[in-house]
Amino acid sequence: MNFQTPLSSEDSSRYAALVGQSAAITRHAELLAWLQGDMQQCLPHDILLAGWGNFQEGTVQHDVVSSLPGARSYAPGTDGLPFLLGKFHERWLAAGRQPCSLDFSEFDYLLGQASLPGSFSDSLRGMRSVLIHGLQDERAQQDCLYVLMCAQPIPLEPARTAMRMLMPSMDAVLRQLAPLPQQRRNAPAARGAAEDACGLSERETQIMAWVAMGKTNSEIGAILNISGFTVKNHMQRIFQKLNVFNRAQAVSKVTRVSIYG
């Protein structure tokens, strides 16, 4: 790995100490304390977003680590987080899979017009700087993305170097933490109840999940890396399979099947 400038002895000692501290982390609370401690000198941030899965298909799970009110992994306002992570993933790919810094004002349109005080969307409205890096998990055939968000500017250097040095430790810690209950429930299944009872394909089931979150055809297309026209064709077939006439009826029927079988 090449760096523009060699690490100073002070930086080397700081990174080594942080890596050593990470080895003792076993709980989310300990991860938060680690990130809010000496880590802030290297990587100042208010929110850590972690996302992993198939970003092209939109099957992404996430974790949020922050001390801000409402900035929790499955707090109100997090339904659109996979879509936001997908946009960050696109920027990371465009940067050649290297650490990149962004202005969050480019993405705040994704938060909608209204957000409840103390919700995740409300917390994001105060963010201004974004630092993104990730890694390719070749064995699991998926990408893992790590996004630092801050209300203040994050200088690209030395933060980019710090992200390269410390992200493997972040990744190792998060992989060893017990999944949250919502992550267990949201883990991809081979075939769900709605598929079995309604005859929906895997792609149609994915689309219906985003329809239930209120996404438009164009938004779903961006998430799944297909055209809005293709989504529209899928929706027509879904209506036929479910014997319904609109999106609200389709969501209602799929929800009833998922709950009652």
Segment 242-247 shows an average pLDDT of: 87
**SS3 annotation, the chain:** CCCCCCCCHHHHHHHHHHHHHHCCCCCHHHHHHHHHCCHHHHCCCCEEEEEEEECCCCEEEEEEEECCCCCCCCCCCCCCHHHHHHHHHHHHHHCCCCCEEEEHHHCHHHHCCCCCCCCHHHHHCCCCEEEEEEEEECCCCEEEEEEEEECCCCCHHHHHHHHHHHHHHHHHHHHHCCCCHHHHHCCCCCCCHHHHHHCCCHHHHHHHHHHHCCCCHHHHHHHHCCCHHHHHHHHHHHHHHHCCCCHHHHHHHHHHHHHHC
* Average predicted confidence (pLDDT) for the chain: 84
Range of the domain at 205: 189-260
pLDDT at 221 over 90: no
142 and 207, same domain (yes or no): no
pTM, full prediction:
0.70
Does residue 150 surpass a pLDDT of 80? yes
Q: For 28-37, 70-79, 216-225, which range has the lowest pLDDT when averaged over its residues?
A: 70-79
> Does residue 167 sit in the same domain as residue 91?
yes
Distance between CA atoms of 131 and 154, rounded to whole angstroms?
A: 7
As a whole number, mean pLDDT of residues 55-59 equals 75
Q: What is the average per-residue pLDDT within 238-258? A: 82
Task: State the Cα–Cα distance between residues 4 and 134, nearest whole angstrom.
Answer: 20
Q: How far apart are CA 70 and CA 86, in angstroms?
A: 21
Instruction: Give pLDDT, residue 7.
Output: 83
Average pLDDT over residues 34-59: 90
Spatial CA neighbour of 192 closest among 216, 215, 208 = 208
pLDDT for residue 182 is more than 70: no
Are residue 31 and residue 157 in the same domain, yes or no? Answer: yes
Kindly give, in sequence order, each residue whose CB lies less than 8 Å from that of residue 153, ignoring residues fewer than 6 positions away. Answer: 128, 129
How far is Cα 34 from Cα 250, in angstroms, rounded to an integer?
45
Query: What's the CATH code of the domain at 243?
Result: 1.10.10.10
Residues 216 and 106 in one domain: no
Using the 3D structure, point to which of 149, 179, 209 is the last residue of a domain.
179
Examine the pLDDT at 65 and tell me if it is beyond 50.
yes
Q: Which of 179, 212, 237 is the last residue of a domain?
A: 179
Q: Which residue has the tokens 């929706």?
A: 235
Are residues 173 and 226 both part of a single domain?
A: no
Return the pLDDT at 184.
Answer: 59
Tell me the mean pLDDT in the region 123-148. 92
Cα 189-192-198 angle, rounded to 5 deg: 155
Looking at the fold, whether 142 and 227 belong to one and the same domain comes out as no
Flag whether 184 is in a domain.
no
Identify whether residues 88 and 20 lie together within a single domain: yes
Top-confidence residue, 212 or 216 = 216
Asked whether 131 and 88 are in contact (CB, 8 A), the reply is no
Regarding whether 175 and 62 lie in a shared domain, the answer is yes
Q: End-to-end distance of the chain based on CA atoms, in angstroms?
A: 53
The band of 251, judged by pLDDT with boundaries at 50, 70 and 90, is confident
What's the number of domains the chain is made of?
A: 2
pLDDT at residue 159 in the model: 93
